[in-house]
Amino acid sequence: MQEATIQLVRPAPLAQDPDSATPQRWQVAQIEALFALPFTELLFQAQTVHRANFDPAEVQLSTLLSIKTGGCAENCSYCPQSAAHDTGVEATALMKVDEVLAAARNAQAAGATRFCMGAAWRGPKDRDIEKVAQLISAVKGLGLETCATLGMLADGQAEALRDAGLDYYNHNIDTAPDKYADIVQTRQFEDRIDTLQRVRGAGVKVCCGGIVGMGETRTQRAALIAELANMEPYPESVPINHLVPVEGTPLQDQAPLDPFEFVRTIAAARITMPHTRVRLSAGRQALGDAVQALCFVAGANSIFYGDKLLVTGNPDVTADRDLLATLGMRAA
Ligand code: SAM
Ligand code: DTB
Ligand code: SF4
């Protein structure tokens, strides 16, 4: 019964793109067909896939720390940390080991299992990598999983991070390939793919997702999910951010996305990437508890946990604990 329903939206054998050297697991049109399902049907399918792979009551908790804030040379139109936008975010130096360790200990005491260190760099210099390597080793020494997001990596840098104890590298593709140039002009979509390949090549796990609510079409949301799902292998961790429109950025006045469309995006990620951690990332404050609960039904099973993201707000730790308790869910 369940299998028959799934076959309705994913006919076998899959049509292949004749120009592609490797088989495309998902065509954009197939993912659009998922988005077009009745909402209840889509959530049923997503929950079915979710239960086959995860305990549906468990949520993994990752805490973020901005180890080097602001003054970034890239012009990402969503980002409050770009030097190109007047957002009032002050540029800071890289944090010291003892400051980072104190934050990591707090996160661990609050129940986080992964600690993600973010730096507002276009890409790190080799001397930055040496310093971040010390931070990674120190955090890893606490028994936390480590994640870093430092921008584009050059040859050898992913290996150096791996040797320091890095478990995951976050590097988002952010939007559909054909929307990318509207959102960022200082780099190309392919630059992101190059770094992701370096991360994979070094044997570091990949955390890669995107942002929805930037004025993209539904087809472009489907294309974002297709790009992620067709990675070989697909990322171990997929953060889905809802745009936080920050004053001073070019997207400050972007109209909010229909929340059901956000939930559909989560469901499409779950169905197309059955084993990945799908993470509710930026924008949870605006989503509210009821929409987040729908996202858990749709297969989200990770959140950014802690009172702050990098520079913008996040639900506070007590609110998240209350939400999980209310829903009868627990930290993984
Ligand atoms: N500089 C590095 C990079 O771009 O990969 C790491 C930090 S960057 C802030 C990490 C991610 O945060 C971006 O790829 C984007 O997905 C997300 N992000 C930044 N600003 C956001 C916003 N206003 N709303 C939603 N997500 C945002
Ligand atoms: C991700 O996908 N989202 C996080 C994390 N990876 C690095 C960052 C969200 C940033 C939101 C805006 C801010 O606070 O700067
Ligand atoms: Fe810089 Fe990353 Fe922000 Fe882009 S998203 S401006 S690369 S910190």
Helix (H) or strand (E) holding 53: helix 39-53
Answer yes or no: 295 catalytic. Answer: no
The arithmetic mean of pLDDT across residues 80-88, rounded, is 98
Class (C level, CATH) for 34-287+298-331: alpha beta
**23 pLDDT tier (thresholds 50, 70, 90):** low
Distance CA 167, CA 142 (A): 14
pLDDT at 15 over 80: no
Query: How many A from CA of 309 to the centre of ligand 2?
Result: 6
Answer yes or no: 208 catalytic. Answer: no
Catalytic entry in 187, 198, 207, 277: 207
Residues 188-242 pLDDT 10s? 999 999 999 999 999 999 999 999 999 999 999 999 999 999 999 999 999 999 9
pTM exceeds 0.75 for this model: yes
Ligand 1 lined by 78 (C-beta under 6 Å)? yes
Q: Which of 296, 221, 227, 234 is nearest to 265 (CA)?
A: 221
pLDDT at position 292? 98
pLDDT at 157 over 70: yes
Mean per-residue pLDDT over the chain, rounded: 94
For residue 105, list its beta bridge partners.
none
Q: Which of 142, 121, 44 is nearest to 310 (CA)?
A: 121
pLDDT at position 24? 65
pLDDT at position 22? 53
pLDDT at position 5? 44
What are the φ/ψ torsions at residue 123 (nearest 5 degrees)?
-170, 150
**Cβ atoms of residues 66 and 121 within 8 Å:** no
pLDDT at position 6? 43
pLDDT at position 87? 98
pLDDT at position 216? 98
pLDDT at 85 over 60: yes
Among 65, 66, 149, residue to substitute to test ligand 1 (most atoms within 8 Å of Cβ): 149
pLDDT at 12 over 90: no
**Cβ atoms of residues 265 and 295 within 8 Å:** no
Ligand 3 lined by 237 (C-beta under 6 Å)? no
Among 64, 68, 74, 78, residue to substitute to test ligand 1 (most atoms within 8 Å of Cβ): 78
Domain ranges within the chain, ordered by starting residue: 34-287+298-331
Residues 54-81 pLDDT 10s? 999 999 999 999 999 999 999 999 999 9
What are the φ/ψ torsions at residue 293 (nearest 5 degrees)?
-60, -40
Tokens of 20: 């592609």
Residues 240-280 pLDDT 10s? 999 999 999 999 999 999 999 999 999 999 999 999 999 99
Ligand 1 lined by 241 (C-beta under 6 Å)? yes
Closest protein CA for atom 9 of ligand 2: 282
pLDDT at 133 over 60: yes
CA 138 vs CA 56, 98, 109, 118, 131: distances in Å? 32, 9, 16, 16, 11
> What percent of the chain has pLDDT above 90?
92
Helix (H) or strand (E) holding 266: helix 259-272
Distance CA 35, CA 264 (A): 6
**Cβ atoms of residues 59 and 302 within 8 Å:** yes
**Cβ atoms of residues 113 and 60 within 8 Å:** yes
Query: 146-174 burial, b for 16+ CB within 10 Å, e for fewer?
Result: bbbbbbbbeeebbbbbbebbbbbbbbbbb
pLDDT at position 265? 98
**8 pLDDT tier (thresholds 50, 70, 90):** very low
Ligand 2 lined by 246 (C-beta under 6 Å)? no
Q: Which of 307, 304, 305 is nearest to 316 (CA)?
A: 307
Tokens of 121: 């760099």
**Cβ atoms of residues 150 and 128 within 8 Å:** yes
- Residue 109 neighbours by CB under 8 Å, 6+ apart: none
